[in-house]
Amino acid sequence: MRSKRESSKSFMLLGVAFVGITGCAHRPVTPPSEAPVSRAATTPASVESARVVVPQGSAPDDLAALLEQCIIHFDFDAKRLNSESLVRLDRLAQALRAHPEAKIQVTGNCDDRGTEEYNFALGQERAAAAKRYLVDLGIASSRIEVVSGGEERPVDRREAEDAWAANRRDEFSLLAGH
Partner 1 sequence: MRAAMLVVLLPFAALAQAPVLEISGANFRPLPLAYAAPATQDDGAKAHARELDEALQFDFSACGLFQLLDRKSFLADAKEGVTASSINFTNWTNVGAEVLVKVQLASDGDQLKGDLRLFSVNAGREELKVSESAPSKDTRRLAHKLANAVYKYFTKETGPFETHLAWTKKTAQGKDVYLSDWDGRNPVPVSVGGINTLPSIGPAGQVGFTSFKKGKPDLWLWRGGNAETLVSSGRMATGIAFSPDGKRIAYSLADGESAQIYVANADASAPRQLTNTPFFINTSPAWSPDGKRLAFVSNRGGTPQVYLMSADGGDAKRLTFQGNYNQTPDWSPRGDLIAFTARDERNAFDLFTVNVDSGKITRLTQDQGNNEEPSFSPNGRLLVFTSTRNGPSQLFVMTFDGNNQTALPVEKGTYSTPAWGK
Q: Give me the residues that bind partner 1 (CB under 8 A), please.
A: 36-37, 77, 113-118, 120-122, 124-125, 128-129, 132, 145-148, 150, 152-153
Tell the smallest beta-carbon distance from residue 39 to partner 1 (Å). 12
Tell the smallest beta-carbon distance from residue 82 to partner 1 (Å). 18
For 87, the 3-state DSSP assignment is helix
Q: Which is nearer to partner 1, 123 or 166 (CB)?
A: 123
> Which residues face 107 on adjacent strands?
147, 171
Q: What are phi and psi of 128, to 5 degrees?
A: -65, -30
Tell the smallest beta-carbon distance from residue 155 to partner 1 (Å). 14
C-alpha to C-alpha distance for 81 and 85, rounded to whole angstroms: 6
Q: Which is nearer to partner 1, 3 or 141 (CB)?
A: 141
Neighbours of 57 (CB within 10 A): 8
Tell the smallest beta-carbon distance from residue 101 to partner 1 (Å). 21
Q: Which is nearer to partner 1, 17 or 120 (CB)?
A: 120
Q: Which is nearer to partner 1, 98 or 137 (CB)?
A: 137
CA distances from 12 to 40, 56, 121, 177 (A): 29, 17, 35, 25
